[in-house]
C-alpha cells in the first residue's frame, strides 16, 4: 500500500510543533501500526533526517505506552485495540493518515508523539497503602473472595494506564483511569480498609494535575483499548461521597 502520513513533529516541550507530510510506499497490510512507523523512521534515518519519536514497549497491548491519536481517534479506528495491536489492514491504499500525540494539559508533549504521562503515576502514589498482614504469604484459601468481586477487580485491573480516556474526553478528564485504579483496589478485601480515603486523595491529586471534570460524555469508554466500563466512575463517585462524609464526622 501507498500512504500519505501527516505526523506531528515537535522538537521539545518549549518549541512549537507542526504537522509534517511523509509519503510512504510498500506498507504491508500485515504490519502493525508501530511497524509502519518503524518503516517510516528507517526511511528518515537513511535520508539523514530525525526519526519520529514515539513511545512503545510491549507491542502486545499490555503496557499502555503506544499512545497516539490516529485520524483523530485515540489508538485508531478499531475498538478495544491499542496502537501496537492495530494493523495496517484497517487502512486502504492511498489513505491519508494523521498521527498526533495526546492533547491534554496534564499530558505535555515532550517530543513528536511522546507525552509526559507521569501525572498518572502521581495519582496512583497519592492513593497510599493497602492494609495487609505482614509475615509469610498466607494460603490463598484462607482469604475467600466472592467470584463477583474477583471478576470486578480483574475488569478494573485491565487498565493499562495509556491515557486514551483523557485524550478522547472533551474535558480531558482522567476519571476512567482513576476509577479503574480505585475500583480494583476497593473490590478486594486487602484494599477495602482505606477505600473511601483513597478515593478522596486520588480525586484531589487528579484535580491538582490539571485533568478536567467528568460530565458523563462517555467518550472515555468508547476509546478505552481495554473497554473499561464507566460504571467504575459511578462506583468512584459513591466511594468519594462516602470518604467526604467520613472526613466530616472524624
- Residues of this chain that bind ligand SF4 (CB under 6 A): 64, 159-165, 176-177, 180, 224-226, 228
The C-alpha cell that represents 167 in the structure block = 485524550
Minimum distance of ligand FES from residue 160's CB (angstroms): 6
Radius of gyration of the chain (CA): 20
How crowded is residue 15: how many other Cβ atoms within 10 Å of its Cβ?
Answer: 11
User: By C-beta, is 70 or 228 nearer to ligand SF4?
Assistant: 228
Task: Decide: 175 and 214 in contact? Cβ < 8 Å.
Answer: yes
What element of type H or E holds 151?
A: helix 147-157
Task: Decide: 97 and 70 in contact? Cβ < 8 Å.
Answer: yes
Rounded CA-CA distance 35/37 in Å is: 5
Binding mask 98-137 for ligand FES (x = CB under 6 A): ----------------------------------------
66 contributes a contact to ligand FES by CB under 6 A: yes
- Secondary structure class of 2 (helix, strand, coil): coil
32 contributes a contact to ligand FES by CB under 6 A: no
In DSSP notation, 179-239 reads HHHHHHHHHSHHHHTTHHHHHHHHHHHHHHTT-B---S--HHHHH-TT---THHHHHHHHH
84 contributes a contact to ligand FES by CB under 6 A: yes
Minimum distance of ligand SF4 from residue 236's CB (angstroms): 12
| Residue from 1, 44, 53, 63 binding ligand FES (CB under 6 A) | 63
Binding region for ligand FES (CB under 6 A) out of 24-32, 55-63, 132-140, 143-151: 55-63
Minimum distance of ligand FES from residue 37's CB (angstroms): 12
User: By C-beta, is 52 or 164 nearer to ligand SF4?
Assistant: 164
When CB distances are held under 5 to 8 angstroms depending on the partner's kind, the choice from ligand SF4, ligand FES, none that residue 97 binds is none
Site residues (vs ligand FES, CB under 6 A): 56-59, 61-66, 82-84, 160
Amino acid at each position: 500500500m501507498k500512504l500519505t502520513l501527516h505526523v506531528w513533529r515537535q522538537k521539545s516541550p518549549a518549541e512549537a510543533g507542526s504537522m509534517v507530510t511523509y509519503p510512504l510506499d510498500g506498507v504491508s497490510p500485515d504490519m502493525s501500526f508501530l511497524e509502519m512507523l518503524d518503516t517510516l523512521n528507517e526511511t528518515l534515518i537513511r535520508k539523514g533526517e530525525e526519526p519520529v519519536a514515539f513511545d512503545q514497549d510491549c507491542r502486545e497491548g499490555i503496557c499502555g505506552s503506544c499512545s497516539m491519536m490516529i485520524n483523530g481517534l485515540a489508538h485508531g479506528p478499531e475498538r478495544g485495540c491499542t496502537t501496537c495491536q492495530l494493523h495496517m489492514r484497517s487502512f486502504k491504499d492511498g489513505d491519508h493518515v494523521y498521527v498526533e500525540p495526546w492533547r491534554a494539559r496534564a499530558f505535555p508533549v515532550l517530543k513528536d508523539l511522546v507525552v509526559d504521562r507521569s501525572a498518572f503515576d502521581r495519582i496512583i502514589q497519592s492513593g497510599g497503602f493497602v492494609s495487609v498482614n505482614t509475615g509469610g504469604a498466607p494460603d490463598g484459601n484462607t482469604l475467600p473472595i466472592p467470584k463477583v468481586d474477583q471478576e470486578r477487580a480483574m475488569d478494573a485491573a485491565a487498565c493499562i494506564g495509556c491515557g486514551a480516556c483523557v485524550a478522547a474526553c472533551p474535558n480531558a478528564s482522567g476519571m476512567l483511569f482513576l476509577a479503574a485504579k480505585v475500583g480494583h483496589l476497593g473490590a478486594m478485601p486487602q484494599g477495602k480498609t482505606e477505600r473511601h480515603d483513597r478515593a478522596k486523595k486520588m480525586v484531589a491529586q487528579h484535580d491538582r494535575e490539571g485533568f478536567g471534570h467528568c460530565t458523563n460524555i462517555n467518550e472515555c469508554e468508547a476509546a478505552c483499548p481495554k473497554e473499561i466500563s464507566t460504571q467504575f466512575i459511578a462506583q468512584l463517585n459513591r466511594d468519594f461521597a462516602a470518604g467526604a462524609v467520613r472526613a466530616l464526622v472524624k
